Amino acid sequence: MRSSHSLSLRERFSDLLSLFRVKQWYKNLVIFIPLLFTRGLFNFNLFLLTFAGFLCLCLMSSANYVINDLLDYDSDRLNPLKKHRPIASGAVSKRLAFFSFLVLFVVSLFFSYLLGFVFMLFPLFLFVSTLLYSVWLKRVPLVDLLVIAFNFVLRTNSGAVLLGVTVSEWLTLMIFLLALFLGLGKRYGTVLKLGKKASSYRKVFSFYSKELTGSLLNIVVGMLLISYCFYTFFGQANRFIMFSIPVFFFVVFRYLSLIYQGSLLSLNTELLFKDKPLFFGLTVWFVIVLLVLY
């Protein structure tokens, strides 16, 4: 355990960035989905507006991560995958962490309010939902996954509120299922890596056996692929977007294969660029969507 008094300013700043989980901010990129699919991606004013909303969500997400680590201090110290987190390792004191939380929370709500009162409700709901998850719901099997997926829907719809547009029901369902897919992949990867020890760090993992989690993964993947097809058929005025279906299928199948292989990608989605086939597939999908819509 490191002493916080012996840390240099650079190390302290690095520990705070780690505490704020800046690498996890990519989850808030879903706020750009309404902008992308309503053909506003290259509208500078709309992009700037959405980017401001993205930053507000990132600040609130970091506030949630800090509170979560404060609440999980004792269990994280015993967890081989989490014991190196800044608070658990002693790199950041509890007092500094709580002060950081207050700053992040207030600043996020303040700038969210400047973007609009209705929009401000989304970061606030995200905080409440995540706090309930940290305190209680993450211990409830299946509900823990549904809350995570619901939070992704909140993020997506916050972007629609900023732009004053309506998100397709099929797109909303697809985002929900995609979040479930990623959540189940992380559960499967954790059980695969830690085995029976996983439940000793969090009791809910005793429910997520390898067999059950694998079955749920297959069900959700099937529903995800169908929902994407239905979105391209009925949720978009431009039917040519259906040409992206094969690439989308490849991306999902590739990620699913990596989960079953025990890849670290299942535990750290931000590493997806390190898998060349997956990154290439995502790039091709994005290019096709841009060409079709723009």
pLDDT digits (tens, 9 = 90+) for 39-58: 899 999 999 999 999 999 99
Residue 1, pLDDT above cutoff 60: no
**Encoding tokens for residue 58?**
């990132």
pLDDT digits (tens, 9 = 90+) for 214-259: 999 999 999 999 999 999 988 776 788 899 999 999 999 999 999 9
Alpha-carbon gap, residue 185 to 1, rounded angstroms? 31
pLDDT band, residue 6 (cuts 50/70/90): very low
Domain 14-164 has CATH 1.10.10.10: no
Burial of 205 (0-12, 13-18, 19+ CB in 10 A): buried
Give residue 201's pLDDT.
66
Which residue in this structure is represented by tokens 């990620």? 255
Give residue 81's pLDDT.
65
The residue that leads in pLDDT, 192 or 285, is: 285
Contacts of residue 78, defined as CB under 8 A and 6 or more positions apart, other chains included, come to 200, 201
Domain boundaries, the chain: 14-164, 168-294
Q: How far is CA 16 from CA 7, 31, 85, 156, in A?
A: 12, 25, 10, 27
